[in-house]
Amino acid sequence: MTPRTWAAARDRLAFPLVAAIEVRGLERRYSDEVLAVAGIDLEVSEGEIYAFLGPNGAGKTTTVRMLVTLLQPTGGTARVAGFDVVREAPSVRRSIGVALQEAALDPLMTGRELMRLQGTLHGLPSDEGRRRGDALLERVGLSLAADRRVGTYSGGMRRRLDLATALVHDPTVLFLDEPTTGLDPVSRIAIWDEVRRLNDDGTTVFLTTQYLEEADHLADRVGIIDNGKMAAEGTPGELKSQVGIAHLEVVIAAGESAKAGEILERFGVPMPARDGRLMVGLPRGAADVAPIVRALDEAGCAVEALELVQPTLDDVFVEKTGRHLEGAADQQHPEQQPAVEEPVSG
Ligand code: ATP
């Protein structure tokens, strides 16, 4: 068990489960033609990381904007930290931290000035605001850049600063809208590490993402949204096991494929071969691999390559919607592809 899951399990044993976010029939219609969120239900427990996964235009940002009280629902209800997002919006706002996609960071201010401003906006006394701002800059690894103008920060540094500004008033629920879109892999992992640390400290996290890997690595539970409707929900493991079983791909020396194919069939569910690779679905997963290798060896079949392939969240998405998730995102937003991060000069 990782420290994160251990901390989460411990906390859940010690305290009764409370819904940090509770959404019932939530809907947002922008016009007669556009029903962006078409009546969704979801619940996020205190201490969870919940990833809201879906392609461009699925309704993720619209949902987040309703939950953080920036947009009025046109139907249904939502409670965040125990407060209704419409009737108790100020209480919701006091309880949450928000880092949206279009972070409006003044490029002429330094990171430290921006943190002070956030502290003031949240009503912190100036001494406390300064202390808290400096501690958060340290936390997200920006102490050395604290007195540089934000306009000189790289994309990853801006995201980390944005995260720090969302934490000034110590929120219990943190909303992150596509926190790593457009970042290179190293910056992405730095954000993931910080999100995990925050969660270990007890913060509930609701994040939207187009990245399967992000949902898979970070989230306790994943909700998949497509065309404004919930397509699936569960832990990454549950969702993947709904789709099916792991399969083994084997490359056998020329001339021995037929014999090898018969052996593989004895162990699992035969699948069509692809690119010269024999495939078999394995109900018991990794436990079947060693006996298969032994059986192939005993039959004199030379194994050139062998790979156990687990079902992915994309398989889940394909099964629920008939489309690939990442392919859809890539085609629509090529400019958001991860790029090597370079500090912006100026
Ligand atoms: P992305 O990953 O691109 O941010 P998303 O899943 O967050 O996508 P939304 O931004 O919530 O999706 O958009 C959902 C739908 O609502 C899309 O069809 C979008 O074009 C539409 N939409 C979003 N904002 C508005 C608006 N202000 N007016 C009209 N339609 C809108």
| CATH code where residue 136 lies | 3.40.50.300
Is 274 among the domain residues? yes
Chain segment 210-238, per-residue pLDDT in tens: 888 899 889 999 999 999 999 999 998 88
Number of domains in the chain: 2
Residue 172 sits at φ, ψ, to 5 deg, of -90, -25
| Domain end marker among 193, 212, 241 | 241
- pLDDT mean across residues, the chain: 84
| Domain end marker among 241, 259, 276 | 241
Contacts of 194-201 with C-beta under 8 Å, sequence gap 24+, read 194/139, 194/140, 194/160, 194/163, 195/49, 196/4, 196/49, 197/139, 198/167, 198/174, 199/4, 199/7, 199/8, 199/47, 199/49, 200/3, 200/4, 200/7
Is 259 among the domain residues? yes
Domain that residue 139 falls in: 3-241
Q: Is residue 195 located within the same domain as residue 67? A: yes
Strands 277-281 and 269-274: antiparallel
| Domain end marker among 241, 261, 278 | 241
- Residue from 60, 68, 225, 227 to probe ligand 1 pocket by mutation (most atoms less than 8 Å from CB): 60
Q: Is residue 200 located within the same domain as residue 304? A: no
Q: In the structure, what pLDDT confidence band is assigned to residue 51 with cuts at 50, 70 and 90?
A: very high
Chain segment 275-318, per-residue pLDDT in tens: 788 988 887 878 889 999 999 999 999 999 999 988 888 778 77
pTM here is: 0.76
Q: Is residue 137 located within the same domain as residue 231? A: yes
Residue 205 tokens, joined: 């996290």
pLDDT at position 269, please? 81
| Minimum mean pLDDT range among 73-77, 126-130, 145-149, 245-249 | 245-249
- Residue from 62, 209, 230 to probe ligand 1 pocket by mutation (most atoms less than 8 Å from CB): 62
pLDDT at position 313, please? 82
For the Cβ of 338 lying below 6 angstroms from any atom of ligand 1, the answer is no
Q: In the structure, what pLDDT confidence band is assigned to residue 1 with cuts at 50, 70 and 90?
A: very low
Residue 195 tokens, joined: 């999100």
Q: Which residue has the higher pLDDT, 228 or 1?
A: 228
Q: Is residue 252 located within the same domain as residue 232? A: no
